[in-house]
Amino acid sequence: MATFPLDLLGMWGKWGTYLVFLLIGFGFGYGLEMSGFNKSTVLAGQFYFRNVRVVKAFFGAIGVAMALIFAAVRLGWLDYNLIWVPPTYLWPGIIGGLIMGVGFILGGFCPGTSMVAAATLKIDALVFVIGGLVGEFIFGITEPYFSNFYYGSYFGRLTLMDFFHTSTGVAMLMVAVLAIVFYVVMEKLQAAVSGEETPPSVYRSIVWFVPLAVSLVIALVGDPTPQEVWNRIAPEKQALLDSRAVYIHPGELLDSIADDTLQVVMLDVRPESDYNLFHIQGARNVSPDDLVEVADELLLRPDINQTVIVVMSNDETAATEAWKTLQAKSVPNVYILEGGVNHWLSIFAAEEEGIQPLSQAADDRPRYAFSAALGDQWEAANPFPHEWELEYEPKIKLERKKGPSSGGCG
Amino acid sequence: METKKSFWQKIFDRPEKPYADPYLGGIVLGLTLFAALFITGSGLGGSGTIGRFSVFLLDLIAPSFVDRVPDFLHWGGGTANPLDATLPVMTLGSLIGGFVSGYRGGRVRPEIHKGPQISNRTRLTMAFLGGLLFTYGARLARGCTSGQGLSGGAVLSAGSWTIVFAIFGGAYLVAYFFRKLWI
């Protein structure tokens, strides 16, 4: 399991955590000031091509951080699933962004830079911060009037990889190339407007080419397969299988389906022909090859923390493999139907005439013969929970998805 | 005879050095952002501190009002102190970092930067309005150039990249009409 990010609160308590954030803040403020961002005329100069420092430092920082983060992720040191990725609320983001753009031109700062500039006694920055205090107040009292808009167009933890259906490396390459295009265009525009040429420097080469090189390597190596990730996390997770802590009894599945406070997602990973003969009502047939995409889709569910995911095959073999894949994708609250569909049928189809036990069957193959391919129209596909009082050891324990629940802005 | 410099003169009258290569600034900011994400799992932020400080002030004046507005309640409801969180601590660090860098470069002094065609009064009025709008937009977009731009951009959030383009797009769209403020 990747060691980072650290559980700071658990390790060093509140004040230790604060110390780390204080040091990070120091670097942030130092970097902003040395780049010239405590001076409104420098920041605003970007928009008149008098001074293009903003684009260089801004996209430079993004490129350098991106390269290091995803290199660490690819090496298995850092768990991307536990990093705060700002969720996408499309239209509030776009409108808010446009308003910020106007504020930038009028005020000559953004919030972070204004506070750092105020620390170096720039009076216009201090006034910008005071304006910000009022802006926050107005937002608080006006937000109830457009709450639907504010919480609407929600796409969850949507990444560029999801949006463009690419690997991490390819998405990184797009960013790295785009940044270089910006640097070239901005340097040319600055030269045209102010006659100021940009001298080559070692820092310029680093910012231009290190993110590009790292992205290229990651694009060529490709994302780790679920099998590789599983091998990495197996030492920790295999115990859950060995102790059977994640195998739930059919009775617990039935009760969970009937529980209104839970969302139950059933993934039936059997071949389509088996699924067509019989499946539990509401179960979704998923080919093992499509599991990774299904995992991405599940992770974007807004109700993921109230969702129990149950994978099933005829017995347990294929379902257990699917469970490993979902673990590799850090999907929370995944369980396996104990004994699979065969076990389910042994309980609920005992009196169903069209479903008769076979004398023998290979592992993870159906142990029942069906008189017709009725899918979920069998009685046993939708048992009435109150007719069945099954004894079982409850195993489902909802866990919240790990990782920060808010980012830098909360 | 050399006159003894006062404390303030020692800070303000240091020889001013030019700003660093912005690409070096980008590397320093990038390393800091990486450290933040790698160690803590969350990135850098700015607007949230202004928001929290605003609620903090409001909580001093009208605590019951804070408890009635959902957005304020979230940070300062009941006995909660809106400043008792990691982001304001990070901002405190950035104030110190900014001051140290400014001190070393001889750039700490009370002054107002503005375009050549406007008065101080116009500059400060616009700074106030700009700060108001920027923070309002940042709360609507759930983050500013730090939280959405740098942090969300580096972790490849699709929404954050949309916001980055909206901020720069919005600024370039209106830049022409407000050119008198700056050039």
Q: Domains of chain A: which residue ranges?
A: 8-226, 227-387
Segment A46-51 mean pLDDT: 94
pTM: 0.88
Is pLDDT above 70 for A403? Answer: no
**For residue A184, what is the DSSP state?**
H
What's residue A195's pLDDT? 87
State whether A102 and B171 contact (CB < 8 Å). Answer: yes
pLDDT band at A409 (very low <50, low <70, confident <90, very high): low
- Domain termination residue (choose one: B88, B109, B130): B109
Same-domain pairing of B38 and B95: yes
**Among chain A residues, CA nearest to B136:** A135
Report the first-to-last Cα separation within chain A, whole angstroms: 28
Q: Is residue B12, in this structure, part of any structural domain at all? A: no
Same-domain pairing of B57 and B92: yes
Q: Is residue B170, in this structure, part of any structural domain at all? A: yes
Is pLDDT above 70 for A193? Answer: yes
Question: Based on the structure, what is the number of domains in chain B?
Answer: 2
Q: Is residue B9, in this structure, part of any structural domain at all? A: no
What's residue A44's pLDDT? 96
- Classified as helix, coil or strand, A263 is strand
State whether A131 and B43 contact (CB < 8 Å). Answer: no
Which chain A residues are within 8 Å of B72, Cβ to Cβ?
140
Q: Is residue B118, in this structure, part of any structural domain at all? A: yes
pLDDT band at A18 (very low <50, low <70, confident <90, very high): very high
Segment A167-179 mean pLDDT: 98
The H-or-E segment that residue A213 falls in is helix A202-221
What's residue A29's pLDDT? 98
Of B31, B89, B157, the CB nearest to A159: B157
What's residue A2's pLDDT? 67
Residues 6+ apart with CB under 8 A from A152: A89, A91, A92
Mutate to test the interface with A, among B8, B13, B19 (most CBs of A within 10 A): B19
SS3 sequence, chain B? Answer: CCCCCCHHHHHHCCCCCCCCCHHHHHHHHHHHHHHHHHHHCCCCCCHHHHHHHHHHHHHHHCHHHHCCCHHHHHHHCCCCCCCCCHHHHHHHHHHHHHHHHHHHCCCCCCECCCCCCCCHHHHHHHHHHHHHHHHHHHHHCCCCHHHHHHHHHHCCEHHHHHHHHHHHHHHHHHHHHHHHHCC
Mutate to test the interface with A, among B59, B136, B150 (most CBs of A within 10 A): B136
CA distance A10 to A21: 15
What's residue A103's pLDDT? 98
Is pLDDT above 90 for A21? Answer: yes
pLDDT tens readout for residues A222-231? 998 889 889 9
Residue B177: give the domain boundaries: 114-183
What's residue B166's pLDDT? 98
**Among chain B residues, CA nearest to A106:** B130
Is pLDDT above 80 for A283? Answer: yes
The H-or-E segment that residue A178 falls in is helix A168-194
Mutate to test the interface with A, among B29, B66, B174 (most CBs of A within 10 A): B29
- Classified as helix, coil or strand, A243 is coil
**Among chain A residues, CA nearest to B27:** A61
- Domain termination residue (choose one: B109, B134, B150): B109
Which chain A residues are within 8 Å of B58, Cβ to Cβ?
137
pLDDT band at A407 (very low <50, low <70, confident <90, very high): low
Same-domain pairing of B57 and B124: no
Q: Whose structure tokens read 């690419």?
A: A166
Q: Is residue B94, in this structure, part of any structural domain at all? A: yes
Same-domain pairing of B120 and B154: yes
Q: Yes or no: is domain A227-387 CATH 3.30.565.10?
A: no
Q: Is residue B59, in this structure, part of any structural domain at all? A: yes
What's residue B177's pLDDT? 97
Of A27, A109, A120, the CB nearest to B35: A27
A194 CB burial (10 A radius; 0-12, 13-18, 19+):
middle
Same-domain pairing of B105 and B30: yes
State whether A120 and B102 contact (CB < 8 Å). Answer: yes
pLDDT tens readout for residues A251-261? 999 999 999 88
* pLDDT averaged over every residue in chain A: 93
What's residue A375's pLDDT? 94
What's residue B5's pLDDT? 78
Same-domain pairing of B51 and B93: yes
Same-domain pairing of B105 and B119: no
Q: Are strands A154-156 and A368-370 parallel, antiparallel or unpaired?
A: unpaired
Same-domain pairing of B75 and B122: no
Q: Is residue B57, in this structure, part of any structural domain at all? A: yes
Q: Are A296 and A329 in contact (CB under 8 A)?
A: yes
Which chain A residues are within 8 Å of B30, Cβ to Cβ?
60-65, 68
Same-domain pairing of B88 and B170: no
What's residue B23's pLDDT? 97
Is pLDDT above 60 for A402? Answer: no
Min distance B92 CA to chain A CA atoms (Å): 7
Q: Is residue B179, in this structure, part of any structural domain at all? A: yes
pLDDT band at A387 (very low <50, low <70, confident <90, very high): confident
pLDDT along chain B (183 residues), means of 10: 75 90 97 97 92 94 90 87 94 97 95 96 98 97 95 97 98 97 94
Among residues A122, A106, A115, the alpha carbon closest in space to that of B133 is found at A106
Same-domain pairing of B118 and B100: no
A237 CB burial (10 A radius; 0-12, 13-18, 19+):
middle
ipTM of the complex: 0.96
- Domain termination residue (choose one: B109, B139, B168): B109
- What are the structure tokens assigned to A348, written together? 């609920």
The H-or-E segment that residue A31 falls in is helix A8-34
What's residue A394's pLDDT? 92
What's residue B3's pLDDT? 67
What's residue B76's pLDDT? 85
- What are the structure tokens assigned to A14, written together? 């509140």
**For residue A86, what is the DSSP state?**
P
